[in-house]
A and B are shown apart, each in its own frame.
Chain A
């Protein structure tokens, strides 16, 4: 009699446990939760020395997502990097990231990078200054890095090529030399010349801006070809 009662109690307990697991199934299922608990962090933080300064780096897929150079809020650069890595890992544990999940915005008056609406990194003015840019541009740049490194599939690197084109003075339209231009092969075929824009800084400094362009008519139209740049000059000895 006692044994039968025990069996009934045990059966009831199993039934309750089964019902609980069905009702409380987490997003992605129990298997996902178990694997997440035992999974290694995809994003890590590490200390590095760059140009003689100790910095914190947030690393994913063997690439540096952010490089934290300054302390803030009582946290060292490494501690800040670790916080960012933890936040990204938390976002990943709730499901994989898509490009739409990575956004930028303003929180407490500062430009930030968000993943699934949660703050991942703050693009403060100190880092913007160190990167010679503005906080909003830095936030956009960091968001693009997260997208490229963590979300998008690795993109095949376009073959790099180079060619020599004439340098044409923007002021006069005359050819003033030749330039070696390097860049992605599909972009390089559009480069027809290098436009030379001249200027003087405080009389003692002469500046020549060299812009790879898609037309030789640089007097009326300077159409820069992106992802290409000048890597050499060719002069004719007279």
Chain B
């Protein structure tokens, strides 16, 4: 039974690749197509390094440098679950290496909406989230779908 599921998933994957990838006209559209098919997590895991370098170059052009190291991780909604974007985090290499995601907690007070961004050690919002101290958010990444 399990093998049928694997085969079915593989067929769906091949179908998606056949339908979407040939329509990709350029590398610029590739990320958008991959977002639609595979989601934010996939794009972050495969393009995170390039996006991180792009952000560091963008900051460097304005004379902004960060101590330690940086990396791009997905933003997960702690209340609802799921990936809702990505963020670049910054800190010492040993601490940044333990960050797997940024947890977003939302709260609304009167007409203000607050979004707390907490670097955490897991991408699974249902597990115990542990904050990684000494790491901050240095950039936010929005995906156009």
- Report the minimum CB–CB distance from A77 to chain B (whole Å): 15
CB distance from B25 to the nearest CB of A (A): 12
Contact of B144 among A204, A210, A222, A226 (CB under 8 A): A204
| Whole-angstrom CA separation of A132 from B71 in the bound complex | 8
- Asked whether, in the complex, the Cβ of A235 is within 8 Å of the Cβ of B139, the reply is no
Dominant SS among interface residues on chain A: strand
Residues 43-54 of A, flagged 1 when their CB comes within 8 A of B and 0 if not, give: 000000011000
- Interface residue stretch chosen among A5-13, A101-109, A110-118, A195-203: A195-203
Q: How many A-B residue pairs have CB under 8 A?
A: 134
Interface string of B32-71 (1 = CB under 8 A from A): 1001000000000001001100110011001111011111
Chain A residues near B32 (CB-CB < 8 A): 203-204
The answer, yes or no, to whether A3 is at the interface (CB within 8 Å) is: no
Q: Decide if B116 is an interface residue (CB 8 Å cutoff).
A: yes
Residues of B within 8 A of A151 (CB): none
- Residues on B with C-beta less than 8 A from A64 are 94
Tell which of B4-12, B15-23, B107-115 binds the partner.
Answer: B107-115
Chain A interface residue count, Cβ-Cβ cutoff 8 angstroms? 40
In the complex, whether A211 has a CB less than 8 A from a CB of chain B is yes
How far apart sit A96 and B98, CA to CA, in the bound complex (Å)? 33
A174 at the interface (CB under 8 A from B): no
The CA-CA distance from A130 to B93 in the complex, in Å, is 9
Q: How many residues of B contact A (CB 8 A)?
A: 50
Contact with A along B87-123 (1 / 0, CB 8 A): 0101011101110000000001001111111100000
Of the candidates A130, A201, A203, A234, the one having the most CB atoms from chain B within 10 angstroms of its own CB is A201
Cβ-closest chain B residue relative to A233: B115
Partner of A205, one of B98, B108, B143: B143
User: B137's closest neighbor in chain A, by CB?
Assistant: A230
Question: Given A51-B98, A199-B54, do A234 and B113 touch, yes or no (CB 8 Å)?
Answer: yes
User: In the complex, are the beta carbons of A205 and B59 less than 8 A apart?
Assistant: no
Q: A170 touching B54 by the CB < 8 A rule? A: no
B residues adjacent to A (C-beta < 8 A): 27-32, 35, 47, 50-51, 54-55, 58-59, 62-65, 67-71, 88, 90, 92-94, 96-98, 108, 111-118, 135-144
A interface, CB within 8 angstroms of B: 50-51, 64, 67, 130-133, 138, 141, 170, 180, 182-183, 197, 199, 201-211, 222, 224, 226, 228-237
A-B contacts, 20 listed (Cβ < 8 Å): A67-B94, A133-B93, A141-B92, A197-B59, A202-B28, A203-B144, A207-B58, A208-B142, A209-B58, A210-B139, A222-B62, A224-B65, A226-B67, A232-B114, A234-B112, A234-B114, A235-B113, A236-B111, A236-B113, A237-B112
